[in-house]
Amino acid sequence: MSDQVNLENSQEVEYVSKTVNVIMCDGGSGDLGHPAVYFKIDKKQEVICNYCNKKFIKKD
């Protein structure tokens, strides 16, 4: 279990379809994993997971 936040490192970015309203992130597998969390992206262009700092960006 790590609370480290490494904004300096290359940030993971995932592009999602603009039809997606809710994003699920579980941080992937292994050490990067975290409990599944859901983020609403319906009114925003991007959302950052507050567990793993992964950035979800809506595609046009």
The footprint of Zn ion (CB under 5 A) covers 25, 27, 49, 51-52, 54
**In angstroms, what is the minimal distance from the CB of 55 to Zn ion?**
10
The residues, ordered by sequence, that sit 6+ positions from 13 with a Cβ below 8 Å of its Cβ are 54, 55, 56, 57
**In angstroms, what is the minimal distance from the CB of 29 to Zn ion?**
12
Q: Which residue in 44, 51, 37, 55 sits closest to 20, CA to CA?
A: 44
CB nearer Zn ion, residue 41 or residue 52: 52
**In angstroms, what is the minimal distance from the CB of 25 to Zn ion?**
3
